[in-house]
Copies of this chain bind each other. A is one copy, B any other.
Amino acid sequence: MPAHDDLIARLHAEFPASAGTESSDLDRAREDRSGHRAPDRPIAVVHPASIDEVQRLLRLANETRTPVVPRGAGTGLAGGAIGGAGAIVLDLSRMDRILELDPLDELAVVEPGVLNGDLNAAASEHGLWYAPDPASRAISSVGGNIATNAGGLLCAKYGVTREAVLGLAVVLADGRLVRTGRRTVKGVTGYDLTALMTGSEGTLGVIVEATVRLRPRPEGDPVTVAAAFADVEVAAAGCAAVTGARLRPAMLELVDDLGLRRVVGHLGPAAIAGTPVEQLAPGEALVIAQADDTDAASRAARIADVLRAAGGRVVVSSDAVASERLIALRRAWHPALAATGEVLIEDIAVPRSKLPDMFRAIADIGRRYGIEIPTLAHAGDGNLHPNFVFTGTEPPAEVWAAADELFRAAVALGGTLTGEHGVGILKRRWLRDELGDDGYDLQRRIKAVFDPAGILNPGVMFDEASAVRR
């Protein structure tokens, strides 16, 4: 792209240690973990080391009207941080320091590139814990978690990322630095821009620092309960019974029959010995619950009683090793699927009470399209991950047609098209359907307040003509 030669020269001159234009660098920034890959390379990838560098880059981008794609660890599942033709990727992974960890105020101040797992390792030395717990925590960054308002397995009890973010430093599209929120647990001065930025997927500003809330680590070992059920709807009813008994497990996962069969095949007989899936009947589904903290044992026993009464074949862990063995059935989900092809992970959420309806809708859609859609649910919060396994680099058209029906079914049940992964570029075409015209219009106008020239992650969330092609 010779049109960008001047810009590339300026980037190298002004960011000699941070601007990269090597093919390998550009190619890495063209994709994330969604399986999607932009058709063209971005102009450059800039790896700033400081807030000042981010500000200078945004000033340059604003002056030249160059689209900027903020990017964390690149583990997103919705194509929200993919660089394409005409864009500069702003890769924040070098800004990975924990600037402060205050055990008395139970907070940390971090740069955006710090990995969730690294922050947790540091916090645990003080008996503290950063609760947002996406399955990707070992490889995803806190900044990316905030930009997508990441969820995870523990949200029904411990909340989503938004609940853990106290304040942010954000570089705006014109290079100005603003600080939102505060270091206090409470505070109602002005509009909650911290919450507005959380989950805004790099379209309103670049998160360059975050003040996050830590909480005491749950005490003792968690206790795990696994229960096999005759089918996925009976399993969903079992989960509903746990909620109805006002027991709030830290984790409540549901693995459907299509997925469970693959998990069992993937793990092999030795790994599943002693678990409820040791003798698996056709159509059976699995529920895995975990109770934590000082009352873990008594709470787990009550959860087991409820699941047993709902028809489950139940095993309760006796110690940390046994617990890990049961949890391994859940952890094997993604490897089991990935072993047989490329995986597209969807991310709908419905009110808990609609889980059986949603499972029925998924089965119906799968039948009509002749596609298996193995589905995993965070049943405690109604978040389902229907998975499509395919061969080749891009999902075939019928997968997208089936996904389209999934999204519409979820929204019709009072749900949402993305529970925790974000809209990105992959789901932007459904945004207006869920928000309605007036809601969509309000959101577009808020975007314009922060980014009047439209240079911040264009094409993410909003399906607009000016989008970077990706």
Binding site for B on A (CB under 8 A): 102-107, 127-128, 148-149, 151, 155-156, 159-160, 162-163, 172, 176-180, 182-193, 195-196, 198-200, 204, 215-217, 240, 243-244, 246-248, 293-295, 298-299, 349-353, 378, 380-383, 414-423, 427, 431, 434-436, 438-440, 442-443, 445-447, 449-450, 461
Contacts and interface: CB of A to CB of B under 8 A. Distances in A.
Contact of A383 (B155, B184, B378): B184
A187 B353 CA distance: 16
A421 B149 CA distance: 27
A131 to B, nearest CB: 12
A105 B350 CA distance: 10
A198 B163 CA distance: 14
Contact of A179 (B104, B217, B243, B439): B439
Given A182-B414, A295-B295, A104 B191 contact: no
A248 B215 contact: yes
A105 B186 contact: no
A218 B467 CA distance: 50
A440 B180 CA distance: 10
Given A178-B442, A192-B198, A439-B190, A419 B184 contact: yes
Given A178-B442, A248-B215, A439-B180, A434 B196 contact: no
A56 B423 CA distance: 35
Nearest to A448: B449
A186 B423 contact: no
16 contacts: A178-B436, A179-B436, A182-B415, A184-B414, A184-B416, A184-B419, A186-B382, A186-B383, A186-B416, A188-B199, A188-B423, A189-B416, A190-B435, A294-B299, A442-B450, A446-B446
A185 B246 contact: no
A177 B442 CA distance: 12
B199 A191 contact: yes
Contacts of A128: 246
**Taking chain A's interface residues, is the majority helix, strand, or loop, or is none over half, making it mixed?**
loop
Nearest to A161: B188
Nearest first, the 8 closest Cβ-Cβ pairs linking A and B are A195-B195, A185-B381, A216-B246, A187-B416, A186-B419, A184-B349, A104-B353, A127-B246
A163 B161 CA distance: 11
Contact of A192 (B104, B127, B196, B299): B196
Q: How many copies does the complex hold?
A: 2
Nearest to A420: B186
A102 B353 contact: yes
A442 B188 contact: no
A216 B423 CA distance: 31
Given A416-B184, A416-B187, A439 B192 contact: no
Nearest to A184: B349
Contacts of A191: 196, 199-200, 204, 443, 446-447
Given A172-B438, A294-B295, 13 more contacts: A103-B244, A105-B353, A107-B351, A184-B350, A186-B349, A186-B378, A186-B419, A187-B349, A188-B418, A192-B195, A192-B199, A294-B298, A446-B449
A173 B102 CA distance: 43
A365 B83 CA distance: 55
A345 to B, nearest CB: 14
A179 B411 CA distance: 14
Given A102-B353, A199-B192, A449-B445, A186 B151 contact: yes
Residue among A128, A190, A215, A450 with the highest chain B CB neighbour number at 10 A: A190
B416 A182 contact: yes
Contacts of A350: 184
Contact of A187 (B183, B243, B352, B419): B419
A12 B200 CA distance: 44
Given A382-B185, A446-B449, A431 B190 contact: yes
Contacts of A199: 188, 191-192
B184 A415 contact: yes
A446 B350 CA distance: 30
Contacts of A415: 182-184, 187
